[in-house]
Structure 1
C-alpha cells in the first residue's frame, strides 16, 4: 500500500459502535461524570483528521479561556498516545492543531470570542464541549456555520451533562425525536477504563448530593430546585454567624477573592481558614459607591481596615482580571494594581488560569452547604450582607446563574443585581478546596485517556 501506517486503538465498545460509526448531522452525547463521552468524541475528531480529506474541525466551548486546559490538551494527549505527534504542529496563539501530512486542522474557539469565530472559514464539522453551558441561539448560529462544501459528512457533536430538565437540548433532541440526530447516553458505569477505586469514590461521593447523583451517576435529567435558587442548600441559620466564630483573626493568613464588575462596584471578599484547613470563614466584604467603585480604591480600603496584618495574604478571583483592558489604568490590569498595592504584605497569587464551570462549582458548593462534602464547612460573618444577599436570592438559569440586570431610574445605568460577591465566593472556594473540587468533578483522580475495551482492532491507513 506504499507509505501507510496502521494503528490499533482501544476504546469503550460503545464508542466504537455508536460514536465512531455515526454520520448523522447531530451526534448528541448525554452522560454523567467520567463516562468517557468527551474522550470518545475527541478520538473521533483525531481519527477523522488523520483519515479523511479536507477536514477543518472546530471545537468550541462557551468561554475561550477554558479551551487550552480542556479540549486542546485532551486532543493533544490522544495524538501523543497514538505515537503520532511527529506529524502534527500544535499552535497556542490562536489555539490550533495541524496535520502536516495532509493539511487537516483542528481549530478552537470560545463563543465569547466573536472576532475569532468570524475569522474561521470552511468548517467541515463542529464539536461543542459542555453544550449545556450554551443557549439555543448559540447552537443555531453554529449550525448555520456548517454549510461549506465538503466531500465528507458534516456533523455537530454535542457533549454535555444533563444538569437540568429545562435545558434546550432536551426539548430539541430528546422530547421530540430528531431524525437527523444520533443520541448516545452513558454514565461512569459504561466506562471500562475507570479503575475500581475511582468508581467506588464516585459512587460514595455522588450519593451525598441527590441532584449530583441523579445527574452524574445515573445520567438522568436534573430537576431544578422548586425555588429556582442557584445556592439552594444555603441556610442562614446554619451558615451565618454573629457570635465571633467568623471574626477576623490577626494570627491567621488572609485569603482575598475578587470580582471585577464595576457596576455597582468591584467586589472583594476577605476570608480565613480554620487550623485544619477544612472550614472556610468569610470574615469581611469590601465594596464602595461611585466614584470609588474600582479596584484601586477597594484595595486601598482593604489596607485601611487591615493595616496591621502580618500573617500573610493570598489573593485569587476572576481570571479575566489579568486581561489588559479590565481597568482604566493604561498598561495595567486589575491584578497588577492589586499586587503593587499589597507589596508590603508579600502577597501570593493564586488566580486560576480559567473560570471554573459555573454549574460544577454551584453543585460543589451546594454539596458543602448541604452535607459538609469531604468534611468541609463554610461559615459567613453576619456583616457580609452583600454576599449573604447573593447566596439567598441568586436565581439559576438553564446554563448556570441568572444574570438578569436592573436599571437605575436616575442614571439609566444597568447592572446585574446579584452574582458579583457570589462569583468571588465561587472562585475562593474552588481555589482553597481545589483538591476536593477535583474529586467532586472527576473522582479520586483525573480520568486519563486509554485506548481499549476488548481487544478490538480498528485500523486506519494513512
Structure 2
C-alpha cells in the first residue's frame, strides 16, 4: 500500500488516487502523454502525482505550461492547490497568488507557471534549489504547432547527481481532432517520438463521478454517437467530410489588419442551459478572400444583461452585431442595454447552405486563443443519409454554435452599417491591445 506521512496523519495514496492510472503514475519515460475523455480525472491525477513526486525528490522542480498564461490560475494552479489539500500537506506548501507560484517549504522547490504567449520568459527560467527537470503541458491541444512545444522541451536540459534522477515531459489533453500534430508525434506508431508513454483514459476510470454525470455520458451514446467517441471514449475527432477545410491556426496582428482596411464582423448565437451563447468577431478582406477569426465567447447560462456586458468588454458593443433572429425579444433587450446596433439575421429557405457556400470561398485564419472555434471547425461536418451513406447537402446539427455565429456575422458584408476600422482600433486600445 502506498502511503505518505504528514505531521497530521498517514495518507493512503492508492485510496486517494483511485484506479486507472498506475502505469501513468510510475512512468519515467521522457514523454508521458495522456489523452482522455471529459471526467477521466487526468488533470486531478497529474496534480496529485506532481505534489507527491516533488515531496519525495528534493532535486525536482516543475514547470507548468498552457498556451495562454491567463488560463493557468483557474486551471492547473487551482488543481495543484486542490492536490495539496487532498494530500493534507497544506502546512508544507507556500502559495503565491500573484505570480502564481507554489513552493515546497522544507526544501524551497518550486512549481512555476508560464504561458506560451510569452516564450522568452520560458526559455530563461532558472531555479535556486535542485534542477528544473519536469514540465507539464496541460490542455496541449491548444498549442497550434509542434515547434512551440519543442522550444519549451529544449529548455528542460541538464543533469543532477542523484541516483534516482530523471527528466520528464507530461502532456495531457482532450483529443478534438485527428489533424492535430499531437496525434502524429505521440500516438501514431510510425511517427511517434522515442521514449513515449502514451495512453487514452475515459470517464469509466473515474470512480468519483456521480450517477447523474455517468448517466449523462452514457446517454450521449444514444443521442450523439459521433460526439460520444470524443467526449466519452477519448478518441480522436475524425476530420471526414469537413464543411470548411481551408483553414489554419496562426497568430496575427489584428491592429495591422485593421489599418490595411479589413472589415470587422461580429455574430452572436443565443444559448442558455443546454447550449452556449456563442460570439465570434473577425476581420475580412473580400477581395483577397481572407477571413481572420480574432475573438470568441462561449458560455452557457448567460442572461441578456451578461451578454450585453460581455459585448461591451469585448469592445464590439457599438458596431453592428448580427444575432440569431429566432430570439427577437432578446435582441431588443440587449439593444436597450447599450448595444444599439444588434440586429437579427436574415433567415429563410436555404439560408444555412447559402451562408456556408459563401464562407467556403474564404481562407480562414484562426487566432490560437479561439479554442472553441478551433474545436468546432475541426468537427463541423456534412450530414449523411443513414441508409445509403450518401453525403447530404446540409451540415450535421452539432459543433455549430460558433459556426452559426460566423454565418450571421458574414451577413454584415451585405449591409451598409458596418463598423469603421478606426472604431475597432479604438476598441482594441481600450482592451489594452
**Same topology, TM > 0.5:** yes
Q: Distance in 2 between matches of 1:163 and 1:172?
A: 15
Tell me which of 192, 199, 204 is aligned to 1:184. 199
Residue 316 (1) aligns with residue 310 (2)? yes
Displacement of 1:162 in angstroms is 2.2
Identify the residue that residue 72 of structure 2 maps to in structure 1: 67
Distance 1:380 1:279, change over 3 A: farther
Displacement of 1:82 in angstroms is 2.2
Displacement of 1:361 in angstroms is 5.8
Displacement of 1:39 in angstroms is 1.5
Q: Distance in 1 between matches of 2:210 and 2:403?
A: 29
Q: Which runs of 5+ in 2 are unaligned?
A: 248-252, 286-304, 320-334, 340-367, 382-394, 415-423, 425-433
Q: Distance in 2 between matches of 1:277 and 1:384?
A: 25
Structure scoring higher RCO (CA < 8 A, sep ≥ 6) equals: 1
CA-to-aligned-CA distance 1:412-448 (integer Å, 9 cap, x gap): xxxxxxxx9xxxxxxxxxxxxxxxxxxxxxxxxxxxx
Residue 103 (1) aligns with residue 123 (2)? no
CA-to-aligned-CA distance 1:214-248 (integer Å, 9 cap, x gap): 2221222221143362799xxxxxxxxxxxxxxxx
Distance 1:196 1:120, change over 3 A: same
Residue 138 (1) aligns with residue 148 (2)? yes
Identify the residue that residue 201 of structure 1 maps to in structure 2: 216
TM value normalised by structure 1: 0.56
Identify the residue that residue 91 of structure 2 maps to in structure 1: 86
Secondary structure, counterpart of 1:13 in structure 2: coil
Identify the residue that residue 158 of structure 2 maps to in structure 1: 148
Q: Which runs of 5+ in 1 are unaligned?
A: 233-258, 290-310, 322-333, 339-343, 349-353, 389-419, 421-462
Displacement of 1:189 in angstroms is 1.5
Tell me which of 237, 255, 266 is aligned to 1:269. 266
Matches within 5 A, 1:158-173: 158-173=171-186
Q: Distance in 1 between matches of 2:403 and 2:188?
A: 39
Displacement of 1:35 in angstroms is 0.9
Secondary structure, counterpart of 2:70 in structure 1: helix
Distance 1:387 1:269, change over 3 A: same
Residue 46 (1) aligns with residue 51 (2)? yes
Is the Cα contact below 8 Å between 2:373 and 2:402 reproduced in 1? no
Identify the residue that residue 13 of structure 1 maps to in structure 2: 19
Tell me which of 214, 220, 236 is aligned to 1:221. 236
Query: Size of the alignment, in residue pairs?
Result: 316
Cα RMSD, aligned residues only: 4.7
Is the Cα contact below 8 Å between 1:280 and 1:379 reproduced in 2? no
Identify the residue that residue 460 of structure 1 maps to in structure 2: none
Is the Cα contact below 8 Å between 2:101 and 2:112 reproduced in 1? yes
Q: Distance in 2 between matches of 1:387 and 1:206?
A: 40
Distance 1:209 1:266, change over 3 A: farther
Distance 1:59 1:230, change over 3 A: farther
